[in-house]
Structure 1
Amino acid sequence: MTSISIIGSGKMGAAIAEVAARAGSNIQIIKRSAASASAARPGFEYGVMGDDLTGDLVVLAVPYSAYPSILELYRDQIGERVVIDISNPIDFSTYDALKSPPDSSTAAELARQLPEGAAVVKAFNVNLGDTLVSGTNGTTTTTVLFAGDYADAKEAVRELIEAAGMRAVDAGPLTRARELEAMGFLQIIMAALGKTRYESGFTLLP
């Protein structure tokens, strides 16, 4: 059985917790503080920043701007695990650009800051939270695109996605994270403008 630690208790963290619950995983949710809002749910283990991580998979469900503080606390711990980066580093002051370097991605930058050999996988950033909770995107099964450089890490992510009843598609090496972030950026902007619905969004047909 997969175990997963989700750092962050916001909407995407809660959505991925639902995914992990459907997959039958052991789930730990790390909140910013004991007072942070989140729905207490039986079967979930809750902790606060600084508590030891218990999951084999670690999801960073926090804004990219929070990554430095997360790394201060958990660099060594997450360097020994599969780290899932779900971020879309949008400049929300303008809705007109990504904050990640033009020739890189948040996932690649994260990998550079972790111990050598750390397995970073980009995943879930092209999915809106509602489609993860429901497992459907409009009238189709939700597809989760992912990218990474380590086969074992990607297989662990694939197994989580498929065990939750969704479709998993390997987009290639971690260098593809840049394109995934561009897709996530476009999807969020389209939803914010009312061009698509938060309950649907982009999908990849079989």
Structure 2
Amino acid sequence: MRIAIIGTGNVGGDIARGLRGKGHAVTLGARNPDDAEVKALAAETGAGVAFPAEAATRADLVILALPWGVAEGAVKALGDLSDKVVIDCMNPLGRTAAGMGLTIGHTTSGGEMVAGWLPGAQVVKTLNQVGAEIMAQNAHLPHRPVMFMAGDNDAAKAQVAEMLTDLGFEPLDAGDLTKARLLEPFGMVWINQALFRGKGRNWAFAAVEG
């Protein structure tokens, strides 16, 4: 697959590391393709580099790995992505009365908002449920980590499932895109355990059948 990763921070970088050597043509979408850190990431992962809109236009699959606070402007600047498969791996985090947490929920989700910003695109919510490091490397875990996905198009989810498998995850279909309202709080369970309950970042959820 031709995959564009929009955002070259921790999440985007570790997805690129996880996809290295898996047979995909990966392009990093960066505001400054000449940035030294971006060039170093591209050299490490064997990825190409382009401006975000250019990377998205050339891709079969577009992964949004941006801070939520800048997401709307950055996503809209990608242009017309009609019929493209777009992964939203962002959690709508921000400052709330109770501290850092989800800023929306119950009646909508970040995934649904992204779909509104990209009319015609096939948006799939996934890769929001673990830390970036697990996306780069998870073969050491005793169980295969699970990764839920939500979207309205079965063909798009099948394509995303193929990529999730390449990243080492067991993909499970959570249903239509409204189920992002479940997956975003689920991502907060990982964040709470990892960052606030002392579990650390080297773990993931697994679906264990008996």
TM-score (norm 2): 0.86
Q: Is 1:15 aligned to 2:18, yes or no?
A: no
Provide the aligned C-alpha RMSD in A: 2.1
Give the secondary structure class of the aligned counterpart of 2:50: strand
> Percent identity of the aligned residues?
28
Residue from 60, 73, 82 that aligns with 1:56: 60
For this pair of structures, how many residues does the alignment match? 203
Q: Which residue of 1 aligns with 2:183?
A: 180
Residue from 89, 104, 116 that aligns with 2:92: 89
CA contact (8 A) 1:22 1:163 kept: no
Instruction: Output the CA distance in 2 between the equivalents of 1:55 and 1:191.
Output: 33
2:191 partner amino acid? I
Instruction: Output the CA distance in 1 between the equivalents of 2:51 and 2:21.
Output: 24
CA 1:122–1:165: 2 relative to 1, 3 Å = same
CA contact (8 A) 1:147 1:174 kept: yes
Instruction: Output the CA distance in 2 between the equivalents of 1:21 and 1:95.
Output: 36
Structure 2 gaps, min length 5: none
CA contact (8 A) 1:148 1:154 kept: yes
CA contact (8 A) 1:4 1:20 kept: no
Report deviation, 1:95: 3.6
CA 1:168–1:101: 2 relative to 1, 3 Å = closer
CA 1:137–1:176: 2 relative to 1, 3 Å = farther
Q: Which residue of 2 aligns with 1:163?
A: 166
CA 1:201–1:176: 2 relative to 1, 3 Å = same
Which moves more between the two structures, 37-46 or 55-64?
A: 37-46
CA contact (8 A) 2:29 2:55 kept: no
Report deviation, 1:50: 4.2
TM-score (norm 1): 0.88
Structure 1 gaps, min length 5: none
